[in-house]
Amino acid sequence: MIDQVDFYTGFEGEGEVRFICQSDEKKYSISIWEGYFFDIMNALLDNLNEMNIKPTGIVYCYQTQTGWYDESPWLLEDLDITSNYFELILKNAGFDEKREGILAAIIELLN
């Protein structure tokens, strides 16, 4: 069984970021237009900089363009840190409903 959340439709042909969580019985997938993802990651970087927190994990990889830029698929190993980062930005960024929905879906998948 596959559960898929789509935030990419309407942007076909442009960059896509996909989060996938798979077990023996199920596959969960979130497809995101890269523009939404870049907005979220840039806001997260700005918030971490304001709080004098050195980025790690996915935020560090985004900032330095390593990780998923080097290989696909890319295994995200620091699920707790990533979830905490996305929860932080969900509370602090004041995003519109679409980006809040994307963050909520990613957090649910990570947890």
List, for residues 34-45, the tens digit of each pLDDT value. 999 999 999 999
- Structural contact between residues 80 and 86, judged by C-beta atoms closer than 8 angstroms: no
CA–CA–CA angle 5, 8, 11 (5° rounding):
165
The band of 97, judged by pLDDT with boundaries at 50, 70 and 90, is very high
Please name the amino acid found at residue 22: Q
Name the H helices within 1-111. Answer: 34-50, 57-64, 79-92, 97-110
Q: Please give the pLDDT value at position 101.
A: 94
Cα 85 from chain centroid (whole Å)? 10
CA distances from 82 to 13, 57, 89, 100, 108 (A): 27, 7, 11, 16, 12
